[in-house]
Amino acid sequence: MNIIVIGASGFIGNHIYTMGKNDGHLVLGTTNSKRNIDLVAFNMVSDEIKNILTLNFTTDPANTICIICAAISKIDFCVIDNVYSEKINVHATIRLIEELSSLGIKVVFLSTDYVFDGKDGGYSEEDHVNPITEYGRQKVKIEKFIMDTSSSNLIVRLSKILGDNQDYLHPFSEWYKQITKKETIYCIKDQIFSPTFVGDVYKGIIALINKRCTGVYHLANSEIFSRERLISLFIEKIGMKTEIVEKELKDFYFIDNRTLKSYLNSTKFQNEVGLNFTKMSDIAERFAANAVQLRA
């Protein structure tokens, strides 16, 4: 398979890029602002995809997919600079999808549980979207555009994604920094999600592509955690002590809203590909072992 990863310098994109290459696929990854000799410079706003693709990708579109990982993914930033986030997350993304479609390349768009309002939790693909954040509203615009214009593309909704090392910003790496500085960890009370290992995102997407799946899929671990329970598990595996304090959402003074119960029901995905998701306790253990190695 030929895989184009737009946003291969980001957390999820970089894992997809690396795992794809390790699996023997032909992978082209892009970066916007980072210097990285392995990645190709590509700005979604000003550049055209056809100008960075080598012949291998354009002559075999049926065997080529483009996974769009590039986005402004910080929830508050989407409001702070709404014009810029809308430019990237909506206008430039639509332009990119149109260009890929004209080249006959299948699009995999990474969406989010934030398309839901988080009042009930356990959302399936059939549930109505009702975003309560600007970030979620921008994702819904792209989902609608994809569904209205093509039946061959794939929308993969994710919940919170975590890794097993400190290389990128994700909840485990953030909490680890706080634990080592002996800081109290404050977390939103009653926030429940389906945290998923970043490596499973890659495996899940490849499995969906191999099964020729199109439309919307929820790719999320079936384990459900409150923030407090996940932090407690992480602290136990790290073997260091720190204080955890739960606070009401309103006491965080976030600029935009946050969802409370946005965990996803991934039965449709499971029925299709039957992937065994990595347990959060295993990821926390691996993170702890990697951290020990790095300190040694």
Ligand X SMILES: NC(=O)c1ccc[n+]([C@@H]2O[C@H](COP(=O)([O-])OP(=O)(O)OC[C@H]3O[C@@H](n4cnc5c(N)ncnc54)[C@H](OP(=O)(O)O)[C@@H]3O)[C@@H](O)[C@H]2O)c1
Region binding ligand X by CB under 6 A among candidate stretches 6-14, 56-64, 172-180, 207-215:
6-14
Question: Strand pairing partners for 6?
Answer: 68
Query: Does 45 help bind ligand X (rule: CB under 6 A)?
Result: yes
Residues numbered 100-159 forming contacts with ligand X, rule: CB under 6 A? 110, 112, 158
> In the set 10, 121, 131, 204, which binds ligand X (CB under 6 A)?
10
Query: Does 32 help bind ligand X (rule: CB under 6 A)?
Result: yes
Query: Does 2 help bind ligand X (rule: CB under 6 A)?
Result: no
33-50 exposure pattern, b = at least 16 Cβ within 10 A, e = fewer? eeeeeebbebebeebebe
Nearest to 236 by CA among 277, 281, 193, 203: 281
Region binding ligand X by CB under 6 A among candidate stretches 9-17, 98-106, 186-194, 203-211:
9-17
Query: Does 192 help bind ligand X (rule: CB under 6 A)?
Result: no
Query: Does 31 help bind ligand X (rule: CB under 6 A)?
Result: yes
Residue 130: both structure tokens together: 């009702």
Using H for helix, E for strand and C for coil, what is the string for 73-95?
CCHHHHHHCHHHHHHHHHHHHHH
Cβ closest to ligand X, residue 63 vs residue 74: 74
Q: How far is 16 from 111, CA to CA, in rounded Å?
A: 15
> In the set 4, 69, 132, 273, which binds ligand X (CB under 6 A)?
69
223-241 exposure pattern, b = at least 16 Cβ within 10 A, e = fewer? bbbbbbebbebbbebbeee
Residues numbered 233-292 forming contacts with ligand X, rule: CB under 6 A? none
# residues contacting ligand X (CB under 6 A): 24
- At its nearest, how many Å lie between ligand X and the CB of residue 80? 15
Query: Does 44 help bind ligand X (rule: CB under 6 A)?
Result: yes
54-76 exposure pattern, b = at least 16 Cβ within 10 A, e = fewer? eeebeeebeebbbbbbbbbbebe
| Beta strand residue intervals within 127-210, DSSP E | 154-158, 161-162, 185-188, 192-193, 196-197
What is the signed CA dihedral for 241, 247, 249, 250, rounded to 10 degrees?
-140
Query: Does 73 help bind ligand X (rule: CB under 6 A)?
Result: yes
Query: Does 160 help bind ligand X (rule: CB under 6 A)?
Result: yes
Separation of CA 86 from chain center: 18
Query: Does 67 help bind ligand X (rule: CB under 6 A)?
Result: no
- At its nearest, how many Å lie between ligand X and the CB of residue 262? 10
Q: How far is 187 from 226, CA to CA, in rounded Å?
A: 9
- At its nearest, how many Å lie between ligand X and the CB of residue 114? 7
Cβ closest to ligand X, residue 142 vs residue 241: 142
Cβ closest to ligand X, residue 110 vs residue 284: 110
- At its nearest, how many Å lie between ligand X and the CB of residue 296? 28
- At its nearest, how many Å lie between ligand X and the CB of residue 182? 26
Cβ closest to ligand X, residue 63 vs residue 122: 122
- What string of DSSP letters covers 121-139? --B-TTSPP---SHHHHHH
Backbone angles phi, psi at 117, to 5 degrees: -85, -10
Rule CB under 6 A: which residues touch ligand X?
Answer: 7, 9-13, 31-34, 42-45, 69-71, 73, 88, 110, 112, 158, 160-161
